[in-house]
Amino acid sequence: MNDLERTSVDGRRQGGRLRMPRSRGAASGLLLILLGLWGAAVPFVGPSFDFSYSLGQEWSAGRGWLQVLPGAVAAIGGLLLLVSRNRATAMLGGWLAVVAGAWFVVGRAFAGPLNLGDVGTPVATTETKRVWLELTQFYGLGALIVFLGALALGRLSIRSVRDVEYGHRPIATADRTDVRTGRTDAMTDASNEVTTPVAHEPAERRSGWRGRLTGHRRHRPTAV
């Protein structure tokens, strides 16, 4: 047993402060995976339906740094949020998503000074389409990823009553043997209380107390 999961003497599982239900970051994690996959795949699939930057231009390193890399990082962060039951691991996934989303927003501003390359210009015949390209592939996409990552971090930073109950939930079925008596008690989720056996007094002693209360004494047969 480690610090993250122990079993107490009454059959309850004691998880540390880092233990949490998997559902805590499931919704945000799933959305981040989808958004990350979109951000990483749109440079490849966008030209097929005329929704890309610089249509017909050969692949450039800038697309890898500015789209594929942050998209993959956001998807990894979402996966950590989706599958992890450890608060620290899930928070790492949330921070990865925030950083990836921020890079979608500000990455092109740093691409020139860092010599990362460029993605080209939006292939759009109208201003509306150009705005949609900017939003769905960079600014809007990055802002949405940052929002979901920050939302997940906010939820993970609070240890709710549900988390405490999850960390100390009873084991489904366990057998506990009393060292002193050698008796085994079966514990289930339906009953979390340890039942103490009632000691039965001898019949003579019970009848003696009953006789005192009722004012009668027990008479023994007299030998003739």
Contact 21, 166 (CB under 8 A): yes
Is residue 170 in a domain?
no
Supply the range of the domain harboring residue 46. Answer: 21-158
- 8-33 burial string, b = 16+ CB within 10 Å, else e? eeebbbebeebbbeeebbbebbebbb
| pLDDT tens track for 22-60 | 677 789 999 999 999 999 999 999 888 888 888 556 567
**Average pLDDT of the residues of the chain:** 75
- CA separation (Å) from 78 to 28, 82, 84, 94, 104? 7, 6, 10, 7, 16
- Looking at the predicted structure, is the pLDDT value of residue 2 above 50? no
Is residue 47 in a domain?
yes
Q: pLDDT exceeding 70 applies to what percent of the chain?
A: 60
Is residue 99 in a domain?
yes
- Looking at the predicted structure, is the pLDDT value of residue 100 above 50? yes
Is residue 13 in a domain?
no
Number of domains into which the chain is organized: 1
Is residue 55 in a domain?
yes
Is residue 138 in a domain?
yes
| pLDDT tens track for 101-145 | 999 999 999 998 998 988 888 888 899 999 999 999 999 999 999
Is residue 71 in a domain?
yes
The answer, as to whether pTM is greater than 0.85, is: no
Is residue 131 in a domain?
yes
DSSP 54: S
Backbone angles phi, psi at 199, to 5 degrees: -75, 130
Contact 25, 82 (CB under 8 A): yes
